[in-house]
Amino acid sequence: MFDKVEDIVRHFEEVLNELQEPDTINNQDKFRKLMKEQTDLAPIVEEYKEYKAAKEGIEESLMILEEESDEEMKELAKEELADCKERVEQAEEKLKILLLPKDPNDDKNVIVEIRGGAGGDEAALFAAELYRMYTKFAESNHWKTEMMSLNENGIGGFKEAVFMIVGNGAYSKLKYESGVHRVQRIPVTESGGRIHTSTATVAIMPEAEEVDVEIDMNDCKFDVFRASGNGGQCVNTTDSAVRLTHIPTGIVISCQDEKSQLKNKDKALKVLRSRLYDLELQKAHDEEAEARRSQVGTGDRSEKIRTYNFPQGRVTDHRIKFTSHRLDEVLNGDLTEILDNLIAADQAAKLAKMNESA
C-alpha cells in the first residue's frame, strides 16, 4: 500500500510543479484538469504526512525510553508512544479508505426522479415531502436545483417530479437514496384516524454528458402540446410542452415547465440521456453481482430502503439497520447523519472485500 502512496506523493509534487509552468497557466483547460487532480490527491498526501509524523514520533519516544534515566521523562515518552501508535493506526485506516477506487460518477450533478407509489393521494403527498427534503438538503450544501418535469395531483402532492441538483459531489452523497421510501402515518386524507403505510420511489441518476451517451435523433419522437396546471400566461396558451418518446427503449419524458418549446426539448433530452446512462450502469451492476452485493443500496431500485414513521418520530434505514429519532429534522433536509453512516458502511464493505481478495 505504501509503495502506491509514495507514487501518489511523487505525482502530486509533479502536478504542483506543472501548475507553476507558464504554459499551464496560459492553458485554462490544462490548468483546470491539473487543479482537479491536485484537489483529488491532496487528502492522500496530507494523511500520509500525518502517518509519517506519527511514525517519527514512535521512533523518538522509543529512543527516549532507551536512553533516558529520568522516570518522569520516561512516563511522558510512554504517553507519547501510545498516542503516536494510535495515530498510526488511524492514518493507516484512513489511507486504505482514500485509496479505494473512486466512482467515476461521484463528482457529477444528479437527476432525481420521485414518484408516488402505493397509497394514492397520500403517496403523492409523501413524494412532495421527499422533494422538499432533497431541495432543502441541496440548499444546505449550496447546490442549485432545477425542476425538469412535474405532475401534480391537485391537492399539493406529486405524482411524479423530475429535477436536477447541480453541485460538485452531488452524486457521491445522493447515490444511496435510490429505492423505495415508505411512510407510516395518519394521512390528512383519512377521516378515521388510522395509520396508513404508503410508498414513493426515488431514482438518483448521474447527469450524463453527450460524450457519455450518444442519442440517435432518428430514435426520438417529439410531440408538442399545451401545458396544463400552474403557470404563466404564455405557458398555458402556447404549444410549449414537449413529450419525448425514445422508440428503442419506450422511455417517455414530458417537460412543460419552460415557456420555450426549445428549452423543454433540451430538458427532455437531458433527462433521456441520464436515463439511458443509468440503464447502462444498472446493466453493469447486474453483470457484476458480487460487486453489487458489496455496495450499500446503489443497485436495486425496487429495494425498500427507508421507513419514515410519524407516530414514533423515527427514520429507519433498513440497509444498515440505522435508526434516527430526528424525523422532523430529516424531512427538513438534514440528511448528513444518515448519509455519513451509509458512506461509512459502504466503505467498510469495500475494505472487507478488498482484504478478502488481498
Residue 105: inside a domain, yes or no? Answer: no
The range of the structural domain enclosing residue 251 comes to 110-348
Q: What is the DSSP letter of 217?
A: G
Residue 357: inside a domain, yes or no? Answer: no
Return the CATH number at 296: 3.30.70.1660
Burial class (CB in 10 A: 0-12, 13-18, 19+), 39: exposed
Predicted pLDDT of residue 231: 46
Whole-number Å distance between alpha carbons of 130 and 136: 10
Q: Is 155 helix (H, G, I), strand (E, B) or coil?
A: coil
Whole-number Å distance between alpha carbons of 18 and 240: 50
pLDDT in tens, 162-217: 999 999 889 999 999 999 999 999 887 666 678 889 999 999 999 988 778 889 99
Whole-number Å distance between alpha carbons of 257 and 235: 8
Q: What is the DSSP letter of 218?
A: G
Whether the per-residue pLDDT at 232 is higher than 70: the answer is no
Instruction: Quote the Cα angle for 195-197-203, to 5°.
Output: 150
Return the CATH number at 85: 1.20.58
Contacts by 249-254, CB closer than 8 A, 24 or more apart: 249/276, 249/279, 251/275, 251/276, 253/149, 253/162, 254/149, 254/151
Is-contact 86 340, C-beta < 8 A? no
Whether the per-residue pLDDT at 226 is higher than 70: the answer is yes
Q: Quick one: 91 and 50 in the same domain?
A: yes
Residue 83: inside a domain, yes or no? Answer: yes
Nearest CA to 176 out of 1, 335, 5, 6 is that of 335
Whole-number Å distance between alpha carbons of 121 and 112: 21
Tell me the average pLDDT across 147-160.
Answer: 88
Predicted pLDDT of residue 310: 94
Q: Quick one: 82 and 222 in the same domain?
A: no
pLDDT in tens, 292-329: 454 555 545 567 999 999 999 999 999 999 999 999 99
Q: For the chain, what's the residue count?
A: 358
pTM of the model: 0.75
| Domain-terminating residue out of 45, 66, 98 | 98
Residue 104: inside a domain, yes or no? Answer: no
Indicate the average pLDDT of the chain. 87
Whole-number Å distance between alpha carbons of 186 and 92: 49
pLDDT in tens, 69-117: 888 888 999 999 999 999 999 998 888 888 888 888 898 999 999 999 9
Share above pLDDT 70 across residues of the chain, in percent, rounded to a whole number: 90
Q: Quick one: 58 and 11 in the same domain?
A: yes
pLDDT in tens, 244-295: 999 999 999 998 878 888 889 999 999 999 999 988 888 876 665 554 454 5
| Domain-terminating residue out of 98, 123, 141 | 98
Q: Quick one: 90 and 116 in the same domain?
A: no
Q: Quick one: 126 and 218 in the same domain?
A: yes
Predicted pLDDT of residue 229: 56
Sheet holding 251-255, edge to edge: 220-225, 241-246, 251-255
Total of domains in the chain: 2
Predicted pLDDT of residue 306: 96
Residue 94: inside a domain, yes or no? Answer: yes
Whole-number Å distance between alpha carbons of 79 and 87: 12
Which residues does 147 contact at the CB level (< 8 Å), separation at least 6? 161, 162, 163, 257
Q: Quick one: 34 and 174 in the same domain?
A: no
